[in-house]
Amino acid sequence: MKKSLLAVAALGAFASAAQAQSSVTVYGVIDMGYVGSNSRFANPGQTVSGVTGSSTGVTSATSSGIASGAESTGRLGFKGTEDLGGGLSAFFTYETKMDPNSSTVLGTGADGNRQSFVGLKKNGIGNFSLGTQYTGIHNAVAATDPGLQNNMMGNVIYDKGTNVYPSLSTASTANQYNGMQNNTSYTVRLTNMLRLESDTFSGFQANAFYVLNNNNANQSSVAATSSGYAASTGTANSSAWGLGGNYTWQKLMVTANYQALYNKQAYAVSNANGQYSLGAPAQGGYAGVATIGTNIRDNQQYYAATYDFGILKAYVQYINRKTSDVNFSSNYLARTAQQIGVRSFITPTVESWASLGTGKLTVSSAGANTNALVNNAASIGSNSANFGAFQLGTNYWLSKRTNLYAIYGQERTSNQNYTLNMNPTSYNSNNYALGVRHTF
C-alpha cells in the first residue's frame, strides 16, 4: 500500500514537472504556384561594352514559371512558452525561410533568419524580447494591410515583386529610382534588437525597440597611403530605435509608428580629396538587411486605420521614408505613399481584397560632389517620380489551413530621371499568380 502511494506521489510530481516545461509549437507555410510578369521601360539607359548611352525606345521583358511564395513567403518555425509562476512566463521564437524551389530548402542569406528571439512576459504589464525581430512598422503593416503582406506587385505600402524586373544591365539603377521595388517603404527586421511591448489598457497598446550592435569606435587620423587614401579622426556609430502605438475601439483600429536608423563612419576610407566616405542613400529593407550603409540617416513613419463594417473591412494607410547623407542633407531619397483597400468574405469560403495607392519619390544628390568628394560619379540634382499601383486578389478556402489563390497587381512610374540616363523615363509592370498555400 505504501509502495502504491509512493508511486502515485512520484507520478504526480513528474506530471507537475512536465507541466512546468516549455510547450513548443512547430509551424510553417508552404506556398507554390504559377507566377508571371510583364515589364516595360521607356527610354532605358543601355550599356554596351562598358559605354553608357541612352535609348528613346521601349524595352520590355516577360517572365513566367512555377515559383514559391506569391501569397506568403515559405517558412519553418518553432515557438514556445514556459510558465514561471506569478503571472511571469518565458517565450522564444525561431523562424527560418523555407523555399521548396531551392536546393538547400531552408533559407540562406539575409532573410534566412526571419525571426529568432527570447523574452519574458508579465501578465498585466507587458513583455520584452531580445534578438532578430520585426520592426514596429512591419508589425503595424501586418495588422492594417488589405493584401496581408503578400509578395506580389500592386501594393505601394508593402511594395514587392522580386525577380520580375527586366534583366537590363542598368535595370538595378533604374529600379533604385522607380519608387516601386522590393520593399522600399520601410525596414522589415533588424538584428540585435531589444523590443518592449505593453499589454492593452483601455484600448491602448504601446511598443518600442532599440538596436545596439556594439559598433561604436573612435580612431585617430591615419595618413594617406601611396594609393591616395586616408582616414580622418572621428567616431563610428550605428544604431536604430522605434516607437509605436495602437488604439482599438469596437470595430475601429488606429496605429501610429516611427522608427529611425543611423550610421556614421567619420573615419571610414575615403578619397584623399575628402574627409569621409560620402553617404549613398538607398531605400531597402526587403530581406531584413540590418545595415543601412555608410553615413546614412533613415527616418520612417507609418499611420493607418481599419474599420470592420461586418460585410467588409476597410483600410487606409500612409507611409513616409527619407534616407539622407548625415553630412550632406541635400543628398537624399524621400518616398511617400498612401493607399486605400477593402477585404471581405463574399461567401463562407471565398475571400477577396482590392487596394489602390499612389505615391511620390524624390531623388536628390545636390551637393554630392561638394568639397571634392568624388565617391559619387555624378550629381543629378533633384528629380521626382510619381508612381501608382493597384492589386486584386481572391482566396478559395478548402479548409482552415489550405487555400487556392489568384492575385493580380499592376504598378507604374512616370516622369523620372536617374543617374545613368538623364532622359525622362517611365516604367510599367504587372504581376499575376495562381497557386495553393498550406499552413501548419
Assess if residue 102 is contained within a domain.
yes
- From CA 200, how far away is CA 207, in angstroms rounded? 11
Assess if residue 41 is contained within a domain.
yes
**402 contacts 436 by C-beta, under 8 angstroms:** yes
- From CA 105, how far away is CA 287, in angstroms rounded? 16
Digit-by-digit pLDDT tens for the chain (440 residues) are 444 444 444 444 434 444 455 689 999 999 999 999 888 776 554 443 344 444 456 677 788 899 999 999 999 999 999 999 999 999 999 999 988 887 777 766 667 889 999 999 999 999 999 999 999 999 999 999 999 999 999 999 998 865 444 333 333 444 444 666 667 788 888 888 999 999 999 999 999 999 986 556 665 555 544 444 444 555 667 789 999 999 999 999 999 999 999 877 655 444 444 444 445 555 554 333 445 666 788 999 999 999 999 999 999 999 999 988 777 777 788 889 999 999 999 999 999 999 999 998 887 765 444 332 323 334 445 677 788 999 999 999 999 999 999 999 999 887 655 443 444 556 788 999 999 999 99
- Residues in a beta bridge with 263: 238, 296
How much is the pLDDT for 113?
87
If one counts the domains in the chain, the total is 1
- Residues in a beta bridge with 383: 363
**335 contacts 184 by C-beta, under 8 angstroms:** yes
Assess if residue 177 is contained within a domain.
yes
Joined grid coordinates for residue 425 = 523615363
DSSP 106-119: B--STTTEEEEEEE
Buried b / exposed e over 240-253, threshold 16 CB at 10 Å, is bbbebbbebeeeeb
Place of cell 516545461: 21
Give the Cβ contact number of residue 161 at 10 Å: 24
Provide CB contacts within 8 A for 293, sequence distance 6+: 263, 279, 280, 281, 282
**13 contacts 5 by C-beta, under 8 angstroms:** no
Domain containing residue 261: 24-439
Place of cell 507604374: 412
How much is the pLDDT for 328?
72
How much is the pLDDT for 292?
61
Assess if residue 257 is contained within a domain.
yes
- From CA 389, how far away is CA 112, in angstroms rounded? 29
Give which of 407, 415, 406 is closest to 390, Cα–Cα.
407
- From CA 35, how far away is CA 62, in angstroms rounded? 11
How much is the pLDDT for 25?
95
How much is the pLDDT for 62?
84
For the entire predicted model, the pTM comes to: 0.83
- From CA 147, how far away is CA 177, in angstroms rounded? 24
Assess if residue 18 is contained within a domain.
no
Three-state secondary structure call for residue 283: coil
Place of cell 543629378: 380
How much is the pLDDT for 18?
42
Buried b / exposed e over 184-217, threshold 16 CB at 10 Å, is bbbbbbbbbbbbebbeeeeeebbbbbebeeeeee
Q: Rounded to the nearest 5°, which phi and psi values hold at 133?
A: -145, 165
Find the CATH number of the domain harbouring 276. 2.40.160.10
Assess if residue 14 is contained within a domain.
no
Assess if residue 17 is contained within a domain.
no
Vertex 323, ends 320 and 325: CA angle to 5°?
A: 155
